[in-house]
Structure 1
């Protein structure tokens, strides 16, 4: 039995170059068009069954939030239809549905009224909401004074404690601390056990794999595929690393593949625009990318999946025993791991002016779920003095997917045995 049915939904926005163009178009005698159409959704259709946890994944701008707003009735589709059965509780964006001038308590009753509950019915739910939100005396303060974390706590607490048939969550948990997120995910599991339906939107691919029975992938307003979550995450990885082919990109990709002089970096979707570039440039890093086990350029890898980090270095001088290196940092700037050819006792010989070296580091990283920054370097020693020929710091974004939770920086992949005597 389907509790949500989305049928050929399209959403078109009119885009104007100048605000005045909207007025000109409205009053033009010959109905001259001053706008261009932007298709946020292009005929999306799917169904969600009762008791199912469905993941919705896609890049920013793929149409996920627009689709959720249409499902919850916040937006009206340009064409198509959405049918739902049961009470829906939604966390579409931080503080949505809250009056900033009202206190937390007042907003609880306000949201209950919007859900169709009487004040008397909400009075029985308030204690559980307050306990789960755990924001202390701030519950009696105007929500405009709340931090983003307090907003998330109260909004999620209200949503799960009004006994919805369908829960929709759109990245709302990313602002909570790790303890709050853990508590929320436990609630997800409780909801699933009770036969509730969950529509979950997240860029956290590990959570998508762990919690969602199946997933759908949106890209540029189109539903690309639906199926088992792990398969859909693999497809998403191809999209974000620009290795996904559709009718519009296939010809370009074929041309690029046929061009022997094409650069890896031209296909990247994970370049950090604020990377640091320095060195004397007697040797220069001219190309770089991350590759999965099939040889495809990517930016996302599953925990402990073997991948390779490659770079090409062009030498503008004769250099003896250059050192090639990489480092991986977390988002806080902590060095997590890294190595170089000197540490690994790999001889690199003496370069000739104009020569190009291709270096590949192959490894598996048992790191936690999240984003990491990759740095590259070419250095060396001359007359005992350390030389930096070229360094690219915080160059690439590497997204690690893991459906396991452990403590610290990495997963030791412990094997646990419990015996009961």
Structure 2
């Protein structure tokens, strides 16, 4: 394990769920060992390795298994099966006040935490001034912690964990508590220990925080690892999945192509629609080929439009041949038109395309296909938002 901070192998955590409290007793006393419970897999066959000095973000929806995973790594929970190998001393912030005695003062709890982490009293005395300075809670340090607000708890807990020089620091959502000044101070301190080679596991729902702070990300979904890799790529995939899930669950949206033909005596139709490629990088060329058929001898004022939407059905861009003053072939037959964006400025995500054919400046619809095709863009973390706009800074 030289060079490895954490190695997780086939880790599984199963909880027994009972419909009624008495079912637990029935199960324990049943002569034939009848089961009264259902197995819930909080983690299922999870394996990964984290190198020393890496900063890794752990992302996923509520209930995905993130907190269970870091609790097992920290030694708070035991796995049902599998193994966790940890190389170094861990300081963890799993939840506010975890391991604190509410009847003890802040000072007493500092020494208690030091003891739990394996530090002798004398060594903790050398760290006490740094911890007090970082916590910055004044004379409350001499009061029982049961009197503390959640913000004061966060300050003290974080101050202890980050100032005891851990080899591995695990932070589970605690930065969501506290004011902006405290959060800034905490991030700066974590940046400092990161530079000194401390391995950091950073559990957060803030995907932008993970992109900015981490070097790698692990996406957990329903107790299993969905993806491991570059923090920007994994973060974008996770965000994209949430948007797509929202789209699929929406009662107002359909999963398949939606025909919106408002003219029963169709004069023209979309025959086919294809993309040059469906996986792109930001600023790649996007090429769309549309085949359409005209049934009448000639259609005056015929136009074709293509619309781009994001996964939440927000309208991104919708050019058409009329607005672009491009005359398309309007006589009977099957025709092909190509649409090209030389450098697509959209940021990472999945996007959907609609295509329609119209007359009367787009007022009358002859044939319209919604969500006919999709494409996915990936990119490094270099900007935010949906579209990159050329810009300059001056001072």
Q: TM above 0.5, one fold? A: yes
**Residue by residue, what CA displacement relative to the aligned partner does 1:301-360 show, whole Å, maximum 9, x if unpaired?**
xxxxxx5389xxxxxxxxxxxxxxxxxxxxxxxxxxxxxxxxxxxxxxx9xxxxxxx9xx
Alignment correspondent of 2:344: none
* 8 Å CA contact 1:243, 1:298 repeated in 2: no
Gaps of 5+ in 2: 261-306, 318-362, 364-369, 371-380, 385-390
1:64 to 47, 63, 66: 66
Structure 2 length-normalised TM: 0.65
| Number of residue pairs aligned between Structure 1 and Structure 2 | 280
Mapped partners of 1:116, 1:216: distance in 2? 29
Q: Tell me by how many angstroms 1:298 deviates.
A: 3.9
Gaps of 5+ in 1: 250-254, 263-292, 300-306, 311-349, 351-357, 359-400, 405-412
* 8 Å CA contact 1:104, 1:138 repeated in 2: yes
SS class of match (2:12): strand
* 8 Å CA contact 1:209, 1:403 repeated in 2: no
Alignment correspondent of 1:186: 188
Q: Tell me by how many angstroms 1:239 deviates.
A: 2.7
Alignment correspondent of 1:268: none
Question: For residues 235 and 16 of structure 1, do their structure 2 counterparts lie closer, same or farther at Cα, with a shift above 3 Å needed?
Answer: same
Two-structure CA RMSD over aligned residues (Å): 3.1
Alignment correspondent of 1:8: 10
Mapped partners of 1:159, 1:214: distance in 2? 22
Alignment correspondent of 2:104: 102
Mapped partners of 1:81, 1:18: distance in 2? 32
Mapped partners of 1:138, 1:261: distance in 2? 66
Q: How does 1:6-405 map to 2 (within 5 A)?
A: 6-243=8-245, 257-258=255-256, 260=258, 295-298=309-312, 308=315
SS class of match (1:11): strand
Mapped partners of 2:138, 2:393: distance in 1? 40
Mapped partners of 1:416, 1:82: distance in 2? 51
Q: Tell me by how many angstroms 1:176 deviates.
A: 1.1
**Residue by residue, what CA displacement relative to the aligned partner does 1:103-157 show, whole Å, maximum 9, x if unpaired?**
0000000001111111111111111000000000110011111000000000000
Mapped partners of 1:8, 1:403: distance in 2? 37
* 8 Å CA contact 1:4, 1:47 repeated in 2: yes
**Residue by residue, what CA displacement relative to the aligned partner does 1:150-195 show, whole Å, maximum 9, x if unpaired?**
0000000000111101100000110110001001111111112111
Question: For residues 298 and 86 of structure 1, do their structure 2 counterparts lie closer, same or farther at Cα, with a shift above 3 Å needed?
Answer: farther
Alignment correspondent of 2:393: 415
